[in-house]
Structure 1
Amino acid sequence: MKYLAVVVALLCGAAMPYNVRAQRTDSKAINADQPLTAIVFLATDCPISQKYIGELKHIDSLFHTKISIKGVVPGNVKQEEINQFISEYQINFPVVTDADYKLVKKYHATITPEVFLINDRNHIYYQGAIDNWFFDLGKYRQHVTEHYLIDAIKAVQEGQSPVVKKTESVGCPIQKTVSKKSTPKTSDL
């Protein structure tokens, strides 16, 4: 009976420290001082992208020394259109075009706005919606209750893995332009 009690005590005692060690190892693997980048895919003509610029500027002001926000506009969008977008919404973070969809493919982005929180080694800590303001196209909450990107940034800054690593973005689909080379001929149909 003594042996059974010792075995049970060891198993119970071993299970708890093992889980704690696993959590600690996971959190120690994240360097809290690492540079972070929030890559956000935007569309100049997407109303939801436009509505989120204020929140992105707010996040940029909260964490401006800890992270950098970079806007990416997929597709063959003229620089004048992007400049007008930056000016109209008074965007103070860089916004670049992704004319050949390399970044869209690299991150598997499908929606604007969609955000990817990454480190300098391109490890994705979080992917998805900025928060839960929009829950469907044209449908939004009066008050945001989940701040996914802010929570992910705070977790990584504390050396932790974000609790929520991925969410579904709500917005405008990224539409890849079909090049003339890949357009099927009538005879092929």
Structure 2
Amino acid sequence: MKSIFLFLFACFSLGVSAATMPTLTSYPSGKEKNLNTDKKTKVLVFLSKTCPCTQQNIPYINEMAKTFPEIEFIGVHSVRNATAKDIEEIRQNYKAEFPIIDDSDLKMADFLKANRTPQTFILNESNEVLYSGGVTERTNPYSAKKLYLKNALTELANNLAITEKETRSLGCIILR
């Protein structure tokens, strides 16, 4: 009973449940990406083409994706009225090696209550939020001492509970 209470408390405190997530378009494929049918642990990274923090973090996120190949990394470009060209510029200019979904209507940002770029969410196979927060405690991950995302993923890979489930995100605000 206590574990059910803790789960419900965590869902409400993070403002997220395992409810149906929005379906969005993925780039470079241009196909619909339905996270509801994707039964894999995933990291969603909210991005913005114009955010310097996003730009600094993409190479680090690429490294995390290589370090944890069993986890799917997905960029979420949450900029109102953005275009496919904006997303392609991120892929080309900053060498994003993971798919990026178009969230120009901010459905995913609203659903997860994301407020900054780059903010990350680790979701389990049922789309329950296991972690929400920053990549690190610095805007430049290579000068960071606290590696929030890496630590959470390492704990998951070792079948341990994530000790820091929510951390502060630094970066640009997602404008509503």
Which range, TM-score by smaller chain?
0.7 to 0.9
Could you tell me how far 1:143 is from its partner in structure 2?
Answer: 3.0
Give 1:127's match in structure 2, choosing from 127, 132, 146: 132
Equivalent residue, structure 1, for 2:16: none
Runs of 4+ aligned structure 1 residues displaced above 2 Å come to 140-143
Q: For the structure 1 residues 76 and 164, does the alpha-carbon distance in structure 2 shift closer, same or farther, using more than 3 Å as the test?
A: same
Equivalent residue, structure 2, for 1:183: none
Equivalent residue, structure 1, for 2:158: 158
Equivalent residue, structure 1, for 2:75: 71
Q: Equivalences for 1:22-101 in 2 at 5 Å? A: 35-64=40-69, 66-74=70-78, 75-101=80-106
Counterpart CA distance in 2 for 1:142 and 1:80 is: 28
Counterpart CA distance in 2 for 1:142 and 1:129 is: 14
Equivalent residue, structure 1, for 2:148: 148
Contact 1:36 1:119 in 2 (8 A): yes
What is the SS of the residue equivalent to 1:116? strand
Contact 1:76 1:97 in 2 (8 A): no
Structure richer in helix, relative to its length? 1
Contact 2:137 2:168 in 1 (8 A): no
Contact 1:35 1:119 in 2 (8 A): yes
What is the SS of the residue equivalent to 2:143? coil
Deviations 1:43-72 (A, max 9, x none): 0000111110111011011112x1111000
Deviations 1:64-113 (A, max 9, x none): 2x111100011221111211110111111001111221111111000011
Give 1:108's match in structure 2, choosing from 97, 107, 113: 113
Q: What's the TM-score, normalizing by structure 2?
A: 0.73
Could you tell me how far 1:142 is from its partner in structure 2?
Answer: 7.2
- Letter of the 1:67 counterpart: I
What is the SS of the residue equivalent to 1:121? coil
Q: For the structure 1 residues 142 and 101, does the alpha-carbon distance in structure 2 shift closer, same or farther, using more than 3 Å as the test?
A: closer
Could you tell me how far 1:35 is from its partner in structure 2?
Answer: 2.9
**Identity fraction in percent:** 26
Contact 1:41 1:112 in 2 (8 A): yes
Counterpart CA distance in 1 for 2:93 and 2:64 is: 19
Could you tell me how far 1:141 is from its partner in structure 2?
Answer: 8.3
Equivalent residue, structure 2, for 1:172: 172
Q: What's the TM-score, normalizing by structure 1?
A: 0.69
Could you tell me how far 1:42 is from its partner in structure 2?
Answer: 0.4
> Where does structure 1 lack aligned partners over 5 or more consecutive residues?
1-21, 23-33, 135-139, 177-189
Counterpart CA distance in 2 for 1:160 and 1:95 is: 28
What is the SS of the residue equivalent to 1:38? strand
Q: Which has the larger radius of gyration?
A: 1
Size of the alignment, in residue pairs?
Answer: 139
